[in-house]
Structure 1
């Protein structure tokens, strides 16, 4: 049975400015903020079905592994999956077309083009499960993630929602992914709360940390309770990657990572001096580089690369780009396949302005 929301509730959300209407390739409305038990990014289709594609719920992040498991996971056994740092998407079949929705509930033009390729999301899945939703991370050459030479894009599924909005339990999900050749996030195994199993899980965490992987998501065997746990090397990498965007990052971005990495180092008995030094370098190296760029007249920026089958997709990408960034195209060339490859810079306005001001002698009141 398809999900629906009460009309009175929808009218209330609209009146309060929390439900925003769009008409792009399809008509739809999205929740811009949480309201009651409906989370931000939830989508209501305007095709006459009133079908609801629920936003992905908030997942509790634990700072200590063993205590976090005991306190938050409701089953004795649970599954561990690698946490992937990509572009969060929900993919659904609407009518005869596949669409990709961002965490905020927008139809994302770039991701939608990609998931319509059978090599990314096999259409056989939606033929058998037309009302299910694939939840995953897109990585690779997207407008939002670091570019790579290894592949174009990959869509790694971490959850499947059924036609009632409930998530499949891990064993059932793994079977479906295997049957339809859908790529899963890396599966790390099944564990229990007994000390021997927790020790084995800690060894897995240390391996992830050594490999600079982001962390893991732990799911109860019925998928009804779930937590995430992040490694310190991933936190330090995040700081290093974003230190030059100091004034464009969300409030608490750096503080959260400082706290998480410190607790991890303490819990796992890692070398405190080593991690303190790496944290210092993470902040200073990229920020000093950004200051050098600012002195040379450049701003705080990141570079991205995308490969597009349809040139019109780029117009959609630009339409959805944050107003806080300025786009500078570095190259735009047509491939032999007929696709268009675009390399571009995102120049972050707020940080660029702050750095230029500081270097020009502008005073700032604390």
Structure 2
């Protein structure tokens, strides 16, 4: 990548902190590579005039390493630019969709005939058709990604996560903070920070969340797990189901599929069908809150969001922040009959997501003891199933 292209990205996305940071990192890496190359050639000259050749290999390795870093930083900048570009396009489409809904509403209002005298009541007219769970699913119009994501993690990602990382997250079930979160008699919240490679979109925490959700499903209908893997939905160009909106849409789908709701009172809630179909995040959160409010006291709802740190970038922050805040409010709402437990995990530390969580509700994976054992998915699932936590 030439410096002209870096300048082009900076001009195209002048207020994008990710682009600025990636550009600076690339320039620093480029100058470091130049410095290493000069050192390598100077060492070669010294060799020809009788200098030692012992360090020549070191200079050569350093030069190759710095060139590799340049390529890595260049790829990162291109990826950041691509994400920012997709975000701009997506925002444009959202604006168009929102404006279209407004225009259609205005047109329908204007074209509606005025009736000064309402028609007399006709007992033969059938009452308004009840909105059922399947209609709500059709309005949302997204597939339930959880089952496919968990299958993908089990079949393809299980072998890619380092064994020491898998072994360490197994210690979570022995952690006091995790135990307190699970066994709390009321709703509760917990944020778990890992110390892993942020470039790998599935971590040991992802494997743990998948196994934990499976153990909860085995205790249905008492427990209802809802889960979303942010790391598997980060590219809006290739995946229509990204951002916080996808999280709440998937949670609604999973909830409707796991509990038999009586939706006959839906019409009285004044929820807007058109806004739900358009994917309005505020209306989707209202629908989710209404569904949660209909759960009985005997049910405990677990909302698991893995890899939330991957959504902590400028184009995703508003949506995920809105959804997380709404989930925390629902969990803290005293009039909600069911228990609502919120678990957020991130392979690295978060800042924006971290803000609403007090220190006692944040668990750092590095505080857990390093496990001196070979990780085992079956052992973890057995321990979760046999534990007294659930």
Settle same-fold status: TM greater than 0.5: no
**What is the TM-score when the length of structure 1 is the normalising length?**
0.27
**What is the TM-score when the length of structure 2 is the normalising length?**
0.25
Which protein shows a greater Rg?
Answer: 2
The structure whose residues are more often strand, as a share, is 1
Pick 1 or 2: higher relative contact order, CA cutoff 8 A, min separation 6: 2
